[in-house]
Amino acid sequence: MTYDDLTTGRPAPGRVAVVMSTFQGERFVAEQIDSILRQLPSDGMLLVRDDGSTDATPDVVAAIPDARVKLARGTNIGFAMSFFQLLESVPSEASVVLLADQDDIWLPNKIERACAAMRDVVGPCLYFTRLWLVDESLKRFGITLGWPRGPSFYNALAENIVTGCTIALNREALQLVLRLGDRKRIRFHDWWIYLVVSAFGTVVADPEPSVNYRQHGHNVLGRGSGWRRYWVNLKFIRKSSWVHIMYSQIENFRAVHGSMLPAPERARMDRYFDPHSARSVLWLLFMPRRHRQVLTDELLLRGLIVWELLAGRGLLPRSAPEDRLGASA
């Protein structure tokens, strides 16, 4: 199959599949699954992979008396790899695939909105939305930011604006994103999905939230509103190098998909995001062209690059990164 094969004709109607990776989620998973099943078509399917939980999570899922729920008990491989395994398990008759976290609540029309938004799109399509931020009791306290510059391949190189639990993909996009290359170089499944589909397909950004995004003490990243999101990101950066994550993913993307990119996109990627070229790094650091949605975030990215260089860690990890984050993001 060539990349052109993914851009011919309109998608055929088919079943809806929802994929959910669980880990230590016994408190909230039943409530989340209920919110999904209430709107899942009668011929739809909810594919759950438990990522090695030691609590009662898989037993809670297995006890749900609905034939649409299919559970696979796995070992702990981390949320990104767990989601990729789930996506690979989606049967061929599913034409729309949605991703779900274990501890949120889907708003009632989430599936319907996603299917409607992608119905007339030709070729690979990614649909995503904003989120309501809620506490453990589902009280809303904020909303995630919008996207003043809109989604684009150039933005996806430097920033992930797509939250996995809002993602919907058509069959063409699913085929495309599963060309993974070196999986160890992909830390976040949702960022990889955004990067790949933005390069070769259509990204639909819906500003209306579709999920009550529960924030609690066991989120790996979580989200924040206003300046709180910088505090959340700072806590993550203290443990992991965002620069290494970004460049490792781009290097993997270049190896897997780079030769198929249109010439302008390939040239810009190489000009600004080649970690092996001092000139490319200088272009990214000092040229006025922005890649991130907000100027503050653009300056933060450039500052993080300088920090890694001054600290002597370089722009790529010295060994292959491991994704061992065994929890919901």
Chain segment 49-79, per-residue pLDDT in tens: 999 999 999 999 999 999 999 999 999 999 9
Residue 323 lies in a domain: no
| Whole-number pLDDT of residue 38 | 98
Question: Which of 171, 196, 226 is the endpoint of a domain?
Answer: 226
38 found inside a domain = yes
Position 317 in a domain: no
For residue 315, being part of any structural domain is answered with no
Same domain, 194 and 270: no
- 213: CB partners within 8 A, 6+ apart: 101, 104, 131, 132, 133, 134, 144, 163, 165, 223
Per-residue pLDDT at 217 exceeds 80: no
Backbone phi, psi, residue 327, to 5°: -160, 170
Residue 273 amino acid letter: F
- Is residue 118 a part of any domain in this protein? yes
Provide φ and ψ at 148, rounded to 5°.
-60, -25
| Same structural domain, 203 and 246 | no
Same domain assignment for residues 191 and 247: no
**Does the pLDDT value for residue 94 go beyond 70?**
yes
pLDDT band at residue 323 under the 50/70/90 scheme:
very low
Give me the number of domains the chain comprises.
2
Domain end call among 226, 250, 274: 226
State whether 64 and 201 are in the same domain: yes
Return the higher-pLDDT residue of 92 and 318. 92
Considering the domain architecture, whether residues 253 and 192 belong to the same structural domain is answered as no
Q: Which residue has the higher pLDDT, 13 or 208?
A: 208
Residue 158 lies in a domain: yes
**Residue type at 133?**
L
Are residue 179 and residue 141 in the same domain, yes or no?
yes
Could you tell me if 34 and 59 lie in one domain? yes
Instruction: Name the token pair of 76.
Output: 């702990």
Answer yes or no: are the C-beta atoms of 124 and 95 closer than 8 Å. Answer: no
Cβ atoms of 68 and 37 within 8 Å: the answer is yes
CB atoms within 10 A of CB 228: 15
Residue 98's nearest CA partner among 30, 153, 162, 152 is 162
Whole domain around residue 161: which residue ranges? 3-226
Residue 92: pLDDT over 60:
yes
- 181 and 117 in a single domain? The answer is yes
249 with 105, same domain: the answer is no
Tell me, yes or no, whether 260 and 177 share the same domain. no
Determine the Cα–Cα distance for residues 86 and 80; give it in Å rounded to an integer.
Answer: 10
- Kindly report the average pLDDT of the chain as a whole number: 90
Whether the CB-CB separation of 298 and 290 falls below 8 Å is answered with yes
Same structural domain, 19 and 99: yes
Query: Has residue 155 been placed in a domain?
Result: yes
> What's the CATH number where 50 sits?
3.90.550.10
Q: Per-residue pLDDT tens for 8-47?
A: 444 445 799 999 999 999 999 999 999 999 999 999 999 9
Q: Is the pLDDT of residue 228 over 80?
A: no
Same domain, 259 and 299: yes
User: Is residue 105 pLDDT above 90, yes or no?
Assistant: yes
> Is residue 320 situated within a structural domain?
no
Where a domain ends, among 198, 226, 254?
Answer: 226
